[in-house]
Each structure stands twice: as structure tokens, then as C-alpha cells.
């Protein structure tokens, strides 16, 4: 039995969780939009063609904000093709697909309302620039009396969409990005676009592109140059990261949450370096607007025929993937002071917690569950957790603690501990000193995501194989100490409340 411990004290808090930490991402990629969120003619479709079964799962998942329309897709996108009565089908080079544009801004805004989420739009800074970003903003947010705002009304939306959160392009540091450019050029373009957009709508929150991943050769220098040009004009800088099990190294893969923390800390350091250099008071916050597990397949890179909504990036996730995702959620919560927005990529079918079949059912992948529980219980004040834990040596990320954990205290004083036991070889006895929390504290529940087979998956035929279950009896608070046994390779949610 492994043994680990930590102390919880409300006097030591990291910060308040921004609900937008539980965001997601809908890109025009594969079947995320078409036959994912939108499938007219499906038995569950509403009058807009939105799948109600998917909407129900999105609500259950607890998604708060959704980034749209890309991703790599946005860097060649003409938003005008997706509004009004005449839609133009176009070649979409980023994902080598035919884009029908049947679903566009108006459909997304209506879907966002139906789902109860905040929209987060990205503008195209790949093939387009300041003028087109301003046009899109005027169309979306201006009340009326101008060509573009009146056009929106003609298209059926008299009320402006009121979109507050905007990304200034996507992954502009990446050579694969349409319109990729050097940091200094992108920094100037981002600053100019931000200034012009704020002239139209001063209340916007703007995200500058950071690095596409921590391992980019330009990482650090990119953030420094971009922020040196755009510090005063943007609020957040983006981070993107995808992890996967490689070389049969599950321990290294399970350390992904810690790798994500290291990435966040490096970006914070770079932002604060620019702040010091420019002698500013304002702090840039982080938008981790793409994160997940992603098993890239060579066929996605290959030349394929031009098709509408091809099956791309349809990963089926295992229990191991779900525990790794749990670790990523813990990483985000542990940095809630600086990470204000995070979007799991993506929402439906494409590296997603929700899967659908065209004309068929929708179901929850294994990774659905940690997200839903974190969103449901991870609201409030994050308490500082410093685990004392055995470590494992991993090829990918060096020495990594076997216990990864955080705790969130809500407005009523209920404390939720989120904990991952990364050990593959045995359970872990967790002891937490909770004397500084309220008297009479007791365990309200302990739910576990685990399985005898670490490769177990949820499929259309067996959609609930992996789901949270109550832990075996024995989790209790006694003499100011919480004791729990965390099964090998498990995600745990332990709720503590008053008598």
C-alpha cells in the first residue's frame, strides 16, 4: 500500500475558481459540428437541427464557455459564408474537408443560448486582418443602424449576440497554421486588431495566441515578443497542450497533469517578466483554450479525398486517459489564480467527451466523468494542497509524485478533494489533516473512477462500462484526519461537509 498525506487549511488559498475554467471547444473539424451538435433530420433534432440528446449531455457535462469556430479552421475562414440565406460551400484546407457553411455564427449563437454557455469567438488572423475582425464584431455585437448590424437583423437576429470573449487568431506560432508568421509580426497584428476591436466595443476580453505547445522551439521567446507588443491591449495569453501515452510508458503519460503545471508556471513567469520589463501593474492571465488527450493518427495527415464532415480525430478513450484528464483538471484548479479560462478540446466526436452516431445515439466517453464532476464540485476557493507522496521516475517527465490532488471549498463550506492515484501497482492510503476546517466535518461522499482493466473504454455498445462509482466503505474523518483508500490508477472525488 502506498501512503500519502496533505493538510487542508482555509487560511491558505490559491484563489477563486473562474467558472470559465470548465470550457470546451467546437471547431469545424470532422464531425464536431455536423452530425455532432447539428444534425437536422435526426430524431432528437430540434427546430434548428440541434441534437437535443447532445445538448442534454453538454448541460450534464457542466460546460460554461465554448470556443468557436477553430482551431486551425479559423485561419482560412470567411465568416460571411456562414450567415444569411445563401451559404457557400468552400474547400477547407486546414482539415482537408469541404465546409458547407450550413452552420455559422447565427447557428452557434442560438446553440450557445440553448446550451446555456458563454460563446468565445476566434477571429481569422491567418488569411485576414483588422478590417475583417472589426466587421465580424460589428455584425455580432452592434445593436443596429449600420450595414452589418442591420444585416444580422435581416438574418433573423434583431438582438446583438453580445459576445465578450475573443481570441486573436489561433496558434500563429505553428508552421502548419495558415498565415503563420513570426512573433514580432503577430504581436503587432494582435495589438492593432485588439485596439480596433475595442474602439467598436470597449467591453471585450481579448486573448493573444501563446505557444501551440510547451515544446515549441520558439516557446518563451514567442510569448515575450508577442506580449512586448500587445501587453496593454490584451487580457489573456493562450496555452495549448495535448498529451498521449507513448512507448508503453503509462507512468509518463499519467504525469501529464504535472507537465501541464510546469507549462502554466513557465507562461506565468514569462508574462510577469514582460510586466516587470514594461513596468506595468496589470497582470496577464491565462487562457488554456485547448487541452486534452489526443492520439494523432497518420491518416489525419495524409492526402484524403475532399469530403464533408469526415471522421477525423475520433479517439476512443480508456480509463487511463480519463485518469490523465483528471490530473489535467487538477492542474488547472491548482493554478486558478492565473488560469481564468480553459477549454477542453473538443466537445463532440473530435477528441471529445461526447460521441454520436449519425442518426444514432449519443454517449459519454470515459473522460466525460472527471470533467463533469470537476465542473459540478470545483466551484469556490481552491485551497493550497502540498502532498507528501512517494514518487515514480518517468521517462517523459522525470520524478513525479504518485498523488496528484487539489481541494475546493464552496460558499457553504463544503470541501471537495479531487485526487488521482497515479500508481498502477497498488492502492494508496490518503491521510489529510483537516483540523483547520470546520468542526464536525464528515465525509458526504467518495466517488471513484477506476477499473480492473486500465484499457477499458465506453463504446456505443457498452456506453457505461467506465463511470464513477461509490468507493468501498471506509472513507471517514476521525480526530481531525480524513482517511481514504484510493484504488490503483484512479480519479477520486471526496466531499466533506458539516454535521
Task: List contacts with ligand AHR (CB under 6 A).
Answer: 27, 70-72, 170-171, 212, 240, 290, 345-346
- Smallest CA-to-CA distance from 66 within 99, 34, 96, 110 is with 110
Q: How far apart are CA 490 and CA 450, in angstroms?
A: 5
CA distances from 173 to 85, 187, 208, 221, 321 (A): 36, 11, 11, 11, 28
Residue appearing with cell numbers 466551484: 379
Is residue 52 classed exposed, middle or buried when 0-12, 13-18 and 19+ CB atoms within 10 A define those classes? middle
Smallest distance, ligand AHR to C-beta of residue 240, A = 6
Smallest distance, ligand AHR to C-beta of residue 339, A = 18
* Nearer CB in complex with ligand AHR: 269/296: 296
DSSP state, residue 246: -
Q: Which residue is nearest to ligand AHR (CB)?
A: 71
Q: How far apart are CA 122 and CA 94, in angstroms?
A: 15
- Residues with catalytic annotation? 171, 290
Smallest distance, ligand AHR to C-beta of residue 25, A = 7
Q: Is 295 helix (H, G, I), strand (E, B) or coil?
A: coil
* Nearer CB in complex with ligand AHR: 95/253: 95
Smallest distance, ligand AHR to C-beta of residue 70, A = 5
- Smallest CA-to-CA distance from 341 within 473, 430, 152, 210 is with 210
* Nearer CB in complex with ligand AHR: 246/386: 246
* Nearer CB in complex with ligand AHR: 201/290: 290
Question: Which H helix or E strand runs over 226?
Answer: helix 221-230
Q: How far apart are CA 345 and CA 167, in angstroms?
A: 15
* Nearer CB in complex with ligand AHR: 6/294: 294
Task: List the strands of the sheet with 97-99, edge to edge.
Answer: 90-92, 97-99, 307-308
Smallest distance, ligand AHR to C-beta of residue 111, A = 19
Amino acid at each position: 500500500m502506498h501512503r500519502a498525506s496533505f493538510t487542508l487549511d482555509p487560511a491558505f488559498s490559491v484563489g477563486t475558481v473562474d467558472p470559465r475554467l470548465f470550457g470546451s471547444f467546437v471547431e469545424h473539424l470532422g464531425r464536431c459540428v455536423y452530425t455532432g451538435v447539428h444534425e437536422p433530420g435526426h430524431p432528437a433534432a430540434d427546430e434548428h437541427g440541434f441534437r437535443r440528446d447532445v445538448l442534454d449531455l453538454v448541460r450534464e457535462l457542466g460546460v460554461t464557455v465554448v470556443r468557436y469556430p477553430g482551431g486551425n479552421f479559423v485561419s482560412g475562414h470567411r465568416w460571411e459564408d456562414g450567415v444569411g440565406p445563401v451559404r457557400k460551400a468552400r474547400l477547407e484546407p486546414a482539415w482537408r474537408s469541404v465546409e458547407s457553411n450550413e452552420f455559422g455564427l447565427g447557428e452557434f449563437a442560438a446553440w450557445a443560448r440553448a446550451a446555456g454557455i458563454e460563446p468565445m469567438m476566434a477571429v481569422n488572423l491567418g488569411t485576414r486582418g483588422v478590417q475583417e475582425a472589426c466587421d465580424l464584431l460589428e455584425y455580432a455585437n452592434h445593436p443596429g443602424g449600420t450595414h452589418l448590424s442591420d444585416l444580422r437583423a435581416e438574418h433573423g437576429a434583431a438582438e446583438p449576440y453580445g459576445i465578450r470573449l475573443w481570441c486573436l487568431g489561433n496558434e500563429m506560432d505553428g508552421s502548419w497554421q495558415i498565415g503563420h508568421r513570426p512573433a514580432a509580426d503577430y504581436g503587432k497584428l494582435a495589438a492593432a486588431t485588439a485596439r480596433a476591436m475595442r474602439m467598436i466595443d470597449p467591453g471585450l476580453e481579448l486573448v493573444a495566441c501563446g505557444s501551440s505547445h510547451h515544446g515549441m522551439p520558439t516557446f518563451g521567446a514567442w510569448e515575450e515578443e508577442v506580449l512586448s507588443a500587445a501587453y496593454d491591449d490584451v487580457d489573456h495569453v493562450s496555452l495549448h497542450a495535448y498529451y498521449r501515452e507513448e512507448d508503453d510508458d503509462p507512468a509518463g503519460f499519467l504525469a501529464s497533469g504535472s507537465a501541464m503545471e510546469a507549462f502554466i508556471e513557465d507562461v506565468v513567469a514569462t508574462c510577469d517578466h514582460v510586466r516587470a520589463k514594461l513596468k506595468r501593474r496589470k497582470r496577464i492571465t491565462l487562457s488554456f483554450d485547448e487541452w486534452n488527450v489526443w492520439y494523432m493518427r497518420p491518416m489525419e495527415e495524409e492526402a484524403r479525398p475532399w469530403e464533408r464532415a469526415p471522421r477525423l480525430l475520433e479517439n476512443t478513450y480508456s480509463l487511463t486517459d480519463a485518469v490523465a484528464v483528471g490530473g489535467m483538471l487538477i492542474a488547472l484548479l491548482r493554478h486558478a489564480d492565473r488560469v481564468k479560462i480553459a477549454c477542453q478540446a473538443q466537445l463532440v466526436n473530435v477528441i471529445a467527451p461526447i460521441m454520436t452516431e449519425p442518426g444514432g445515439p449519443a454517449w459519454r466517453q470515459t473522460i466525460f466523468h472527471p470533467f463533469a464532476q470537476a465542473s459540478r464540485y470545483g466551484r469556490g476557493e481552491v485551497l493550497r494542497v502540498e502532498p507528501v507522496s512517494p514518487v515514480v521516475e518517468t521517462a517523459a517527465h522525470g520524478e513525479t509524485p504518485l498523488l496528484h490532488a487539489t481541494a475546493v471549498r464552496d460558499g457553504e463550506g463544503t470541501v471537495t478533494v479531487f485526487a488521482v492515484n497515479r500508481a498502477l501497482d497498488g492502492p494508496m492510503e490518503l491521510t489529510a489533516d483537516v483540523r483547520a476546517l470546520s468542526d464536525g466535518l464528515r465525509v458526504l461522499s467518495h466517488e471513484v473512477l477506476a477499473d480492473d482493466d486500465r484499457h477499458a473504454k465506453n463504446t456505443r455498445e457498452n456506453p457505461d462500462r467506465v463511470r464513477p462509482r461509490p468507493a468501498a466503505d471506509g472513507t471517514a474523518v476521525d480526530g481531525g484526519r480524513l482517511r481514504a483508500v484510493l484504488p490503483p490508477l484512479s480519479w477520486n472525488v471526496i466531499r466533506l461537509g458539516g454535521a
